[in-house]
Amino acid sequence: MSVASRAPAHIRSLSPYQPGKPIAELSRETGIPEADIVKLASNENPFGMSPRAKVAAAAALEEGARYPDGNAFALKDALAKKYGVDAAQLVIGNGSNDLLEIATQAFLSPGDSTVFAQYSFAVYPLATLARGARCIQVAAKNYGHDLEAMLAAIDASTRIVFIANPNNPTGTFLPGSEIEAFLARVPQDVLVVLDEAYTEFLPAEKRYDAMGWIARFPNLLVSRTLCKAYGLAGLRLGYSVSHPEVADLMNRVRQPFNASIIAQAAGIAALEDSEFLQKVAENNRHGLARLTSAFTELGLSFLPSSGNFVTVRVGDGAKINQALLKQGVIVRPIAGYGLPEWLRVSIGLPDENERFIAALRKALA
């Protein structure tokens, strides 16, 4: 009997997460120089890191031989001040993906279940299955969350409900009032993970303050990231805000040094750089408008998006994706989400968006 066969069945049956294709990989495969490749596949920040975060990261590199502060005192202090929460409510993660994992580690036993929407973030089922727990996937409504159906799907085994708002990969958005009303009806012993990875891209009229609901709903966990709008995807940094009892449990199971010394320093500087954040959001608004008007012109339907990406129906997603790759443009096929006719495209800089539109036009011809 092999050692691999001794791994639990729920681990052996997992399918790994499919990330966006790295630029270097496409360059190796096609011979296209890396500098000529446009990657719009992983919802990364097209401006890179904020200049202030870069300076802080470079300075922190000097301390690279030291362990980071496992309790992330300075970063938590910055977050607590920015959002008016207590440091005891915070958990820091190696990206917000880490927080999703930590939440399942802290709250799921084999046989428990989680509830999430069809066409929602791929890590929810992965993290659930890795704990030997069961997924209750609820049919989407207009490619987004059907909160009424999700509520009805909760059963005695349910420990976590995941809600991504805006959602990835469909970009759909739920008004804050609907989530608040949902929280009022969810059993209080079920943790609701509100994943706000793309919240910084929301226009003012769509914003809501979920952190302010925690006092009323101690079963709410708000998860956020600095990997998208703040541009720290490669450094990995996220945080969650919850009731201190929930944070305490999560802090017991996370790795003691799960946020690097460089990520913590860059994160503190990034949080202060509101000018950069504004520039990023503005570019996103313009880019999203440009891509969607091009889709309309090309006769393609798309899902109205509240994130830094847009999902477009191209017919044969795999074929169009191949044709784009040949032209040095990487986007994200989402057949794995059950959407084989669609491609998800991250918003880039204006010239990257134009490269994509031109390549798409050629691919469709």
Give the nearest distance from C-beta 195 to ligand PLP in angstroms: 5
Q: Is 238 in the site for ligand PLP (CB under 6 A)?
A: yes
Q: Is 308 in the site for ligand PLP (CB under 6 A)?
A: no
Give the nearest distance from C-beta 362 to ligand PLP in angstroms: 28
Among 83, 116, 121, 173, which residue sits at the site for ligand PLP (rule: CB under 6 A)? 121
Nearer to ligand PLP, 193 or 246 (CB): 193
| Beta strands at 38-39 and 329-330: parallel, antiparallel or unpaired | parallel
Nearer to ligand PLP, 96 or 353 (CB): 96
- Options 91-99, 240-248, 254-262, 276-284: segment touching ligand PLP (CB under 6 A): 91-99
Q: Is 251 in the site for ligand PLP (CB under 6 A)?
A: no
Among 20, 46, 68, 95, which residue sits at the site for ligand PLP (rule: CB under 6 A)? 95
Among 50, 89, 96, 137, which residue sits at the site for ligand PLP (rule: CB under 6 A)? 96
Nearer to ligand PLP, 45 or 327 (CB): 45
| CB-based closest residue to ligand PLP | 95
Give the nearest distance from C-beta 214 to ligand PLP in angstroms: 19
Q: Is 314 in the site for ligand PLP (CB under 6 A)?
A: no
Q: Is 346 in the site for ligand PLP (CB under 6 A)?
A: no
Q: Is 195 in the site for ligand PLP (CB under 6 A)?
A: yes
- Where along the sequence are the contacts to ligand PLP (CB under 6 A)? 43, 95-97, 121, 164, 168, 195, 197, 225, 227, 233, 238
